[in-house]
């Protein structure tokens, strides 16, 4: 059996208050693992600890208790810091605040340049990464004029050029319009399927979890529900506790079931339509 | 969006555009030195011809070049006025109260004006033909020897390129904040200069707050992309010294030699 690429064992991280005591924010006793090539969605509301978890995964934060292993490397080991960060690519929320250069291809080259990759190889990596996200034609332009979705795709390419094993998207769709969200999600999904990059998508939009292999629901620093999207969505209690909003199709089927109809929980509009047709 | 002077790059594919930024920077410095060496009219003519040829080769329209002169016209005028009245050698041409104009003053003032105009045109010719990013790359490469005295050349270059990259973001942000404050009744166009300056305070404070927030996020994103991972940082685009650079360097060298010869009176002129 393969080793999991992400292995979190009993990890705790608490932010300090001004008086030096542990605050409420952070994560407590998280234990989970993610296998190579999986598409995992972390769901949680603001302050649920999902961004803290993301920072634990690329070594920005080191757990105060417990361990985090990325591809067998301990994030607490300072010597491995840059190995871990190049293995774990991270795309952030605001696309405007993560571009370094005024030209797209220069920005994508920033990561590999930092790693000391030979120039010819950087060129290849940059071209490949931009083609993967479908932004190759824009390589000479400035990121400033792009749409939000395009900017995030460039940010993904910038991370891909470092050839990471894991791609973490920390609320990367939160500032985008529906079209931009779809663009980014489609890009990420195809990356996961075709390039076998492990994807960890952090979001508070439940509908983004529909196609995931696994979904975790975080609330107040703890994982309160884990399983396939279907399992997670049908646990109304957990969803309510995490202050998440069910996708319309799931909410409708839930209400119908409460009203006494014999209907299965549904995830997508198509499933819902089928279920309703079956009812007669 | 207001029109912001974001460099003043004029896209074209002339020899000057394609030349290595390092060559252009050095040629620019040499030219400036040469302008200050000038004293005779012949050497001014040489400076003018060299600049004119460079402008023609660059394919930058004369109109844009004249515009760059227009921007400093005020400074030139003041210099001329001060020089005309303060330079008191030569025959007195006109005199009133404490003001006297001499022919020496007029000549000196006109030379100063030419110098200033040559300086402005030559430096703007560099920015017309070089994108800010390439210019930064060129500077970084030229400053590389400073690494020996532990000067953080690369960090400075990164700071410069980030500053350039954030100019449009911040102008957009200023527009947004101003609109938000206007919507709440702020007034930026009335009153004297002090009132106006005070009215800008509610714009500057949110701007600074957002600048710090952006800096924080950008630092994290750069860290996530392994900034400083290794001392042996590489670059995707290496600057290449080509035949056109050699030509440009030679032309500048010949020009400098000419100016020095004129200064030393090699041609028996003036």
Return averaged pLDDT per consecutive 10 residues of chain A, 280 residues in all.
82 82 81 92 87 90 91 89 91 90 89 91 94 91 87 93 93 88 90 89 88 90 89 83 83 84 81 82
Q: Do B224 and A112 touch (CB under 8 A)?
A: no
Tell me how far apart the alpha carbons of residues B116 and B57 are, in angstroms, rounded to a whole number. 22
The helix (H) or strand (E) run that includes residue B64 is: helix B62-86
Ordered strands of the A214-219 beta sheet: A88-91, A166-170, A198-203, A39-44, A214-219, A222-227
Predicted confidence at residue B88, as pLDDT, reads 75
- Which chain B residues are closer than 8 Å to A123 by Cβ? 236
Greater confidence (B87 vs B22) lies with B22
* pLDDT band at B268; cut points 50, 70, 90: low
- Which chain A residues are closer than 8 Å to B233 by Cβ? 113-114, 116
Question: Is the Cβ of B1 closer than 8 Å to some Cβ of chain A?
Answer: no
Q: Is residue A199 part of a domain?
A: yes
Question: Is the Cβ of A169 closer than 8 Å to some Cβ of chain B?
Answer: no
Question: Is the Cβ of A255 closer than 8 Å to some Cβ of chain B?
Answer: no
Tell me how far apart the alpha carbons of residues B180 and B183 are, in angstroms, rounded to a whole number. 5
Question: Is the Cβ of B217 closer than 8 Å to some Cβ of chain A?
Answer: yes
Shared domain for A268 and A226, answered yes or no, is no
Predicted confidence at residue A280, as pLDDT, reads 66
Q: Do B238 and A119 touch (CB under 8 A)?
A: yes
**Minimum-distance CB partner of A96 among B169, B226, B229:** B169
Predicted confidence at residue A70, as pLDDT, reads 92
Q: Which residue of B has its CA nearest to A119?
A: B236
Which bin fits B90, alpha (ψ -120 to 50), beta or left (φ > 0)?
Answer: left
**Minimum-distance CB partner of B214 among A97, A110, A162:** A97
What are the b/e assignments for B235-260, b being 16+ CB within 10 Å? ebbebeeeeebeebbeebeebbebbe
Nearest to A59 by CA among A158, A168, A133, A182: A168
Q: Do A99 and B223 touch (CB under 8 A)?
A: no
Shared domain for A95 and A159, answered yes or no, is yes
Q: Do A112 and B236 touch (CB under 8 A)?
A: yes
Restricting to B residues 149-188, those with a Cβ less than 8 Å away from any Cβ of A are 158, 161-162, 164-165, 168-169
Is a pLDDT exceeding 80 seen at residue B8?
A: no
Q: Is residue A160 part of a domain?
A: yes
Tell me how far apart the alpha carbons of residues B37 and B43 are, in angstroms, rounded to a whole number. 9
Is a pLDDT exceeding 50 seen at residue B6?
A: no
Is a pLDDT exceeding 60 seen at residue B160?
A: yes
Is a pLDDT exceeding 90 seen at residue B162?
A: no
Shared domain for A141 and A256, answered yes or no, is no
Is a pLDDT exceeding 70 seen at residue B4?
A: no
Interacting residues of B45 by C-beta distance below 8 A, sequence separation 6+? none
Nearest to A168 by CA among A188, A148, A194, A193: A188
Shared domain for A276 and A211, answered yes or no, is no
Q: What percent of chain B shows pLDDT beyond 70?
A: 95
Tell me how far apart the alpha carbons of residues A99 and B221 are, in angstroms, rounded to a whole number. 8
Encode pLDDT of B79-131 as tens digits. 998 888 887 777 777 777 777 788 888 888 998 999 999 999 999 899 888 88
Is a pLDDT exceeding 50 seen at residue B19?
A: yes
Shared domain for A125 and A251, answered yes or no, is no
Predicted confidence at residue A157, as pLDDT, reads 94
From B234's Cα to the closest Cα of chain A, the distance in A is 5
Supply the CATH number for residue A195's domain: 3.40.50.300
Shared domain for A36 and A80, answered yes or no, is yes
Shared domain for A277 and A141, answered yes or no, is no
What is the pLDDT averaged over residues B197-204?
Answer: 86
Shared domain for A156 and A273, answered yes or no, is no
Restricting to A residues 57-86, those with a Cβ less than 8 Å away from any Cβ of B are 58, 60, 82, 85-86
pTM, two decimal places: 0.80
What is the pLDDT averaged over residues B7-18?
Answer: 80
Q: Is residue A170 part of a domain?
A: yes
Shared domain for A182 and A277, answered yes or no, is no
Question: Is the Cβ of A50 closer than 8 Å to some Cβ of chain B?
Answer: no
Contact A54, A202 (CB under 8 A): yes
From B138's Cα to the closest Cα of chain A, the distance in A is 15
Predicted confidence at residue B269, as pLDDT, reads 53
Q: Is residue A1 part of a domain?
A: no
What are the b/e assignments for A116-137, b being 16+ CB within 10 Å? ebeeeebbebbbbbbebbebbe
Shared domain for A174 and A255, answered yes or no, is no
* pLDDT band at B7; cut points 50, 70, 90: low
The helix (H) or strand (E) run that includes residue A33 is: strand A22-34
Q: Is residue A35 part of a domain?
A: yes
**Minimum-distance CB partner of A111 among B158, B218, B226:** B226
> Which range of residues forms the domain containing residue A262?
247-280
Q: Please determine, for the modelled complex, whether the ipTM score is greater than 0.90.
A: no
Question: Is the Cβ of A92 closer than 8 Å to some Cβ of chain B?
Answer: yes
Residue with tokens 């896209």: B11
Predicted confidence at residue B23, as pLDDT, reads 92
* pLDDT band at B2; cut points 50, 70, 90: very low
Shared domain for A252 and A143, answered yes or no, is no
Q: What's the structural domain count of chain A?
A: 2
Q: Is residue A207 part of a domain?
A: yes
């Amino acid at each position: 059996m393969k080793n999991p690429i992400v292995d979190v064992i009993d990890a705790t991280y608490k932010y300090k208050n001004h008086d030096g005591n542990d605050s409420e924010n952070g994560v407590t006793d998280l234990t989970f693992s993610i296998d190579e090539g999986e598409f995992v969605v972390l769901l949680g509301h603001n302050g649920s600890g999902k961004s803290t978890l993301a920072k634990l995964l690329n070594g920005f934060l080191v757990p105060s208790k417990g361990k985090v292993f990325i591809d067998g490397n301990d994030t607490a080991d300072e010597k491995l810091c840059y190995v871990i960060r190049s293995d774990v690519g991270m795309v952030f929320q605001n696309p405007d605040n993560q571009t370094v250069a005024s030209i797209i291809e220069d920005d994508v080259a920033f990561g590999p340049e930092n790693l000391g990759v030979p120039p010819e190889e950087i060129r290849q990596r940059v071209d490949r990464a931009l083609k993967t996200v479908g932004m190759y034609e824009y390589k000479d332009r400035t990121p400033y004029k792009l749409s939000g979705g395009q900017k995030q795709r460039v940010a993904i390419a910038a991370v891909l050029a470092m050839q990471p094993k894991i791609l973490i998207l920390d609320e990367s769709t939160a500032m985008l319009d529906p079209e931009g969200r779809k663009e980014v999600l489609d890009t990420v999904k195809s990356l996961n399927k075709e390039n076998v990059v492990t994807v960890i998508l952090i979001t508070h939009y439940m509908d983004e979890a529909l196609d995931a292999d696994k979904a975790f629901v975080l609330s107040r620093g703890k994982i309160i529900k884990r399983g396939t999207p279907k399992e997670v969505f049908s646990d109304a209690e957990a969803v309510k506790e995490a202050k998440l909003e069910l996708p319309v199709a799931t909410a409708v089927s839930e209400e119908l079931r409460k009203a006494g109809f014999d209907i299965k929980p549904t995830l997508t509009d198509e499933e819902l339509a089928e279920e309703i047709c079956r009812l007669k | 969006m207001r029109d912001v002077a974001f460099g003043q790059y004029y896209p074209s594919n002339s020899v000057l555009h394609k030349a290595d930024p390092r060559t252009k920077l050095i040629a620019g410095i040499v030219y400036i030195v040469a302008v200050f060496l000038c004293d005779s009219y012949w050497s001014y003519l040489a400076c003018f011809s060299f600049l004119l040829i460079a402008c023609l080769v660059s394919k930058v329209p004369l109109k844009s070049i004249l515009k760059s002169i227009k921007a400093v016209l005020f400074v030139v005028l003041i210099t001329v006025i001060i020089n005309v009245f303060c330079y008191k050698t030569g025959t007195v041409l006109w005199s009133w109260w404490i003001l006297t104009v001499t022919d020496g003053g007029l000549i000196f003032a006109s030379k100063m004006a030419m110098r200033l105009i040559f300086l402005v045109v030559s430096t703007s010719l560099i920015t017309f033909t070089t994108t800010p990013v390439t210019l930064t790359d060129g500077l970084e490469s030229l400053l590389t020897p400073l690494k020996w005295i532990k000067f953080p050349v690369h960090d400075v270059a990164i700071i410069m390129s980030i500053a350039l990259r954030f100019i449009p973001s911040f102008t957009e942000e200023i527009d947004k904040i101003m609109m938000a404050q206007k919507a709440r009744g702020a007034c930026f166009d009335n009153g004297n200069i002090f009132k106006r300056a005070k009215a800008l305070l509610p714009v500057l404070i949110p701007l600074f707050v957002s600048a710090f927030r952006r800096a924080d996020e950008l630092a994290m994103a750069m860290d996530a992309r392994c900034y400083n991972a290794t001392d042996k940082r590489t670059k995707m685009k290496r600057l290449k010294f080509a035949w056109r650079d050699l030509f440009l360097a030679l032309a500048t060298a010949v020009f400098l030699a000419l100016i020095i010869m004129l200064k030393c009176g090699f041609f028996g002129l003036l």
